[in-house]
Amino acid sequence: MRESRKIATPILWTISLLVATLLVFVITRLYPNTNLQISIVLFSIIDIGFIVALILGIKTKNASIMIFSVISNGIFFILLSIFIFLLLVANGISEP
């Protein structure tokens, strides 16, 4: 039981971080008057979480979990980093 939970940890991290990303995105769209820096900080924390999930996936001994973790977390990390960069550009343009 303990071993199966340890194997599933990277997948659970990936799924929970993906849900958190979608929640932050939807909440910031529902309340458009929120400060843009709040979204940038929250997305950056989630982006660091994808790095942690990637490291946990690499440390797993199961090959299929490792491959899934590296591919999915790598893709999500790159996409979220691009989105954070675009938010930073938008924040730089809008600030006086």
Task: Count Cα neighbours of 86 within 13 Å in the Cβ-side half-sphere.
Answer: 6
Q: How far apart are the first and last CA of the chain?
A: 56
Per-residue DSSP letter, 62: -
pLDDT in tens, 13-71: 999 999 999 999 999 999 988 889 999 999 999 999 999 999 999 998 889 989 999 99
Indicate the length of the chain as a whole number.
Answer: 96
Task: Count Cα neighbours of 1 within 13 Å in the Cβ-side half-sphere.
Answer: 0
Q: What share of the chain is helix, strand, coil (3-state, %, to 5)?
A: 90, 0, 10
pTM: predicted TM-score of the whole model, two decimal places: 0.88
